[in-house]
Amino acid sequence: MDGRGRRLVVVLACVLVASGCTSSAPAEAPPPPSPVTATTEPASTGRVTLAFGGDVHFEGDAGRLLERRDASLGPVARTLRAADVAMVNLETALTTRGRPDPKELERPQDRYHFRAGPRAVDVLLASGIDVVSVANNHVGDYGAVGLADTLAAGRTRGLAMVGAGRDETEALTPHVVRAGGLEVAFLAADGVQREGSSGVWRAGPSNPGTASARGRRPGALLDAVEAAAARDQLVVVYLHWGKEYESCPTQSQRLLVRDLAAAGADVVVGSHSHVLGGAGWAGDTFVGYGLGNFVWYHDRQSATGVLSVTLDADGVVGKSWTPARISATDGRPVPLAGAARTRAVADWRARRRCTGLGAEPGAGQAADPAYAASVSRIDADLAQRMRRSHRPGCPVPLRDLRHLRMTHRDLDGRARTGEMVVHRRWARAVTGVFGRLYDAGWPIARMRLVDDYGADDDASMAANNTSGFNCRRVAGQSSWSQHAFGAAIDLNPVQNPYVRPGSVDPPAGRRFVAIDRGRSAPVSPGVVRAGDLVVRAFARIGWEWGGDWLSSKDYQHFAAPRPPA
């Protein structure tokens, strides 16, 4: 055992999901949990450093690592080994048995099944990884037998696995490590939608499966956090959560962070979205919303890295980000250096903006009110406000328009109340769309009536204002715009400019013209992409996206296919 290994002392010994001890029991009948054993260690520094990476599996080129006797994750392992404890999310089943789970609750085009042999454990251990979360949507890809084999592989080889077990109690049993004179309890849970009806996707009182963080207040997880905190242990919670390809946290993530912080969690980190998210403080709890992919079979979302946090007896006292890029040849994270490293660290820090988290301890996460919306007629006072956007001769009378007030997140992650005018036919449907965007944490810079900008479309776009009704013509034409009927909305115009041959409106949107707008592309907050949650939300009410136009691209524009009758 090397020096680092001697500093790590397992306090909770030989537990199914939290043990590095060897057992000869078959996978289908693991031994029951053993009691806590008291231990000592040679030195007490009063501090412990933890390192976290994102999603790991061994598909495609990354799978070839398992064929090499001396395989590891390469240079990034130096950062992992420098910590007292390193942890990632193991996004695969470790088995050669079982059948693919049908995953009938997932969309057919999104059903993936990952697995690797137990050799994967050796690669992780050789890279300095001590603990893995298996609470995710792939550990059950090959059913209960695949889950049992995965846990057995960790148990027999000495890699601690948290977040799954023979029942809910074991799935939420922490792995406890003593380092630097401190005890750290590691928990994990899955917060994304179940992909199949099989019990393996959620452990119950008598069935094996993963620990769950679903629901408005996942009581069992919070109870486990409170119990560990009551034992004066530092508490780490690794969550599988968030919306795929979205870097800003959802409303449910924010609410869960609030509850975990109140329960006593010191560190909350997670992955699943495939892109990096922001990190910061919710009171005295340090939160890393998205660690991205870490070892992956493609490099389409290549930004990754290692989050290191240092704790003393009172909690987190320091943090750092070691940026990396996923290699296109073997799927491993390659640490960055020089100017590339500097840019990547700056980008990681900037991602905190839409989270509502604080830059320093003690700062509360921005308020998390429930979504609220109202629909009202245009009264005399509002009609006076709208005297520029609605004039005699407009194709829709004021009586057919409705004033909406809706909660939204701004680009700093703060909850705001915005306003908009649309046709009465679409009023309730539009409030539903923006409710889905709010729940997903999708940010909107501002939402005001165009009359606040003199009903000048150019001024409204330049202010990055999201707006609806405006009695105006199509740019450069004599026909009425869909906005003149209250049947169109422009969303974050700067991030989503109107692009025509030789022109970009607003001009500030030029830097967003050439970006990749594919559904899985990593983009800045507030950017609309093909097939993303924004496009899908508007499509549900029958509206079309201007980003699909052929001769020009109006990325901000969503409209009904025809004016209302």
Give the pLDDT confidence score for residue 43 in this predicted structure: 58
**Can you state the percent helix, strand and coil of the chain, rounding each to 5?**
25, 25, 45
Q: Which tens digit of pLDDT belongs to each residue from 231-281?
A: 999 999 999 999 999 999 999 999 999 999 999 999 999 999 999 999 999
Question: Which DSSP helix (H) or strand (E) runs through 460?
Answer: helix 457-462
Give the pLDDT confidence score for residue 236 in this predicted structure: 98
Give the pLDDT confidence score for residue 551 in this predicted structure: 87
Alpha-carbon distance 110 to 475, whole Å?
40
**CB of 221 within 8 A of CB of 212?**
yes
DSSP state of 136: S
Alpha-carbon distance 86 to 82, whole Å?
9
Domains and their CATH numbers in the chain: 3-355 (3.60.21.10), 373-559 (no CATH)
Beta strands, E only, 425-492: 446-447, 465-466, 488-490
Alpha-carbon distance 418 to 167, whole Å?
46
Looking at the DSSP assignment, which residues form a beta bridge with residue 133?
A: 89, 162
Look at strands 503-505 and 498-500 and give their pairing.
Answer: antiparallel
Is 42 exposed, middle or buried, given 0-12, 13-18 or 19+ CB atoms closer than 10 A? exposed
**Peptide bond preceding 31 in cis form (omega within 30 of 0):** no
**CB of 347 within 8 A of CB of 277?**
no
**CB of 375 within 8 A of CB of 402?**
yes
Helix (H, G, I), strand (E, B) or coil at 73: coil
DSSP string spanning 514-545? SS--STT----TT---TTSHHHHHHHTTT-EE
Read off the amino acid at residue 231.
R
Q: Is this prediction's pTM over 0.85? A: yes
CA distances, 469 to each of 163, 246, 427, 535 (Å): 49, 28, 12, 20
414 alpha carbon, distance to own chain's centre: 17
Looking at the DSSP assignment, which residues form a beta bridge with residue 293?
A: 55
Question: Which DSSP helix (H) or strand (E) runs through 183?
Answer: strand 182-190
Nearest 5°: phi and psi at 334? -105, 115
Give the pLDDT confidence score for residue 39 in this predicted structure: 38
**CB of 445 within 8 A of CB of 494?**
yes
Q: Which tens digit of pLDDT belongs to each residue from 138-184?
A: 999 999 999 999 999 999 999 999 999 999 999 999 999 999 999 99
Alpha-carbon distance 181 to 36, whole Å?
17
Each of the 565 residues of the chain gets a pLDDT tens digit; together they read: 333 333 344 343 333 333 333 333 333 333 334 333 333 354 578 999 999 999 999 999 899 999 988 899 999 999 999 999 999 999 999 999 999 999 998 888 889 999 999 999 999 999 999 999 999 999 999 999 999 999 999 999 999 999 999 999 999 999 999 999 999 999 999 999 989 999 999 999 999 999 999 987 799 999 999 999 999 999 999 999 999 999 999 999 999 999 999 999 999 999 999 999 999 999 999 999 999 999 999 999 999 999 999 999 999 999 999 999 999 999 999 999 999 999 999 999 999 999 999 999 998 888 899 999 999 999 999 999 999 999 999 999 999 999 999 999 999 999 999 999 999 999 999 999 999 999 999 999 999 999 999 999 999 999 999 999 999 998 778 899 999 999 999 999 999 999 999 999 999 999 999 999 999 999 999 999 999 999 999 999 999 999 999 989 999 999 999 877 7
**CB of 237 within 8 A of CB of 263?**
no
Question: Which DSSP helix (H) or strand (E) runs through 422?
Answer: strand 415-423
**Residue that is written with structure tokens 């590891």 in the block:** 72
Q: Residues in the chain, how many?
A: 565
Looking at the DSSP assignment, which residues form a beta bridge with residue 240?
A: 190, 271
Helix axis angle for 219-230 and 251-263, nearest 10°, is: 30
Nearest 5°: phi and psi at 534? -70, -50
Nearest 5°: phi and psi at 547? -70, -10
309, 312, 316, 317 alpha-carbon torsion, rounded to 10°: -90
Alpha-carbon distance 169 to 189, whole Å?
12
Alpha-carbon distance 399 to 421, whole Å?
12
Give the pLDDT confidence score for residue 37 in this predicted structure: 31
